[in-house]
Amino acid sequence: MRLRPYFFSKVRPIKGHMSKKPAGPLSPLARFLLMAFIALCMVFTSGVAALKFYPGLALLPVIQHVKASPYCPVWRSVADARIKIVQADYQKEIGAQSHVVRKDGPYKLWSTPAGEYWVPDTSDNILSILLAQQKRKIYGDAASGGVRKGDIVLDGGAHVGTYVKTALDAGAEKIVAIEPSPEALECLRRNFAKEIAAGKVIVYPKGIWDEEKHLVFYANGNGAAGDSFVSKGADARVIADIPVTTVDKIVKELNLPRVDIIKADIKGAGTRMIKGGAETIRAYHPRIVISVEEEPEDPAEIHAAVMSIAPSYHFRPGPCEFGDGEIRNDTIFFE
């Protein structure tokens, strides 16, 4: 008898493994839900990718409902949001590489990637904040309104001298470090003793105003970087009879041959500084950069004051930053 090959033999189904009937097409509702889920995943993935490159997009739901500088349109505020991330990254990097060398009464000597600085012992964070601002060139560089080689610089609100160091590194001929805070003045003198002795740095112990007088000064803490003649913090220490003067008086008193750049971080006195420097502005047309990141500085008011004195200036608003419920320029430039 002839045997049939094995592979021609009839295959018997194994119990418990019966073949299943192929599934039918999805119902319209199931198909709709599946497509909606896929679309949602695509939108989410695209949104995450967009926020990575444009983190300011997260501001869009609230940006129309907060107070904003007239020089911070929506597109600019969205684009500039990344700068705050850069600032935070620099602060973290600088802070990790900094340490206290020693203490001397109410002062601390810090070693940082940018050198050693004496700072009032009221904040362990302010120095990394200020150095991060200098690293990201908050006041510009030689090509964008900042210090250039050979400049004579007026540094209003010099604090402990982080901008003084920037100006020296850029090749400034002379820097007048104008500072009213007694604690910051002591640190300035310690931080730049050699440059002061050589005549490259002049420490000027007054505030900037639109007239000569004495004012009450509010020491708002924060390592003296938040001190002001205008804004009084909740825990401010009030210091009476601090002298203030004008830019024009400083230039005449020091017999400066010219002024090439005026930098100011003077916590609410920006417009007064411009009015008190009208002669200097007309005579030398210095580049001007003013910090307006905090109230009560008003960039539009400062702009109007400058243009009323010298309308030929080119105005450039600095980056827009969101904080404390409003969007403000961190600086404004005049060239």
Domain ranges of the chain: 140-334
Which burial class, exposed, middle or buried, applies to 58 when counting CB atoms under 10 A from its CB (0-12, 13-18, 19+)? middle
Of 187, 171, 273, the residue nearest 223 (C-alpha): 187
pLDDT computed for residue 242 by the predictor: 93
pLDDT at 6: 45
Q: Which among 326, 325, 324, 322 has a CA at the least distance from the CA of 80?
A: 322
Beta strand extents in 131-236 (DSSP E only): 152-156, 174-178, 201-204, 207-208, 213-219
Instruction: State how far the Cα of 184 lies from the Cα of 118, in Å rounded to an integer.
Output: 9
Pairing type for strands 287-291 and 331-334 reads antiparallel
Per-residue pLDDT of the chain (335 residues; tens, 9 = 90+): 444 444 444 445 555 555 555 556 667 776 666 566 666 666 555 544 444 555 655 665 666 678 889 999 888 888 888 898 999 999 999 999 999 999 999 999 999 999 999 999 988 999 999 999 999 999 999 999 999 999 999 999 999 999 999 999 999 999 999 999 999 999 999 999 999 999 999 999 999 999 999 998 887 765 555 778 787 777 778 887 899 999 999 999 999 999 999 999 998 999 999 999 999 999 999 999 999 998 889 999 999 999 999 999 999 999 998 877 788 999 999 99
Question: What's the rounded Cα separation, in Å, for the pair 260 and 279?
Answer: 14
| pLDDT of amino acid 235 | 77
* Cβ contact 123:108 at 8 Å: no
Task: Check: CB of residue 148 under 8 Å from CB of residue 260.
Answer: yes
Q: How far is Cα 225 from Cα 87, in angstroms, rounded to an integer?
A: 17
What's the full length of the chain, in residues?
335
Q: Give the pair of three-digit tokens for residue 312.
A: 């030929």
Q: Are 109 and 102 in contact (CB under 8 A)?
A: yes
Name the CATH topology of 140-334: Rossmann fold (3.40.50)
3-state secondary structure of 101: strand
CA 236, 305, 165: angle at the middle one, nearest 5?
55
In the block, residue with structure tokens 């708002």? 220
pLDDT, position 77: 82
Amino acid code (one letter) for 314 = H
Phi, psi of 162 (to 5 degrees): -65, -35
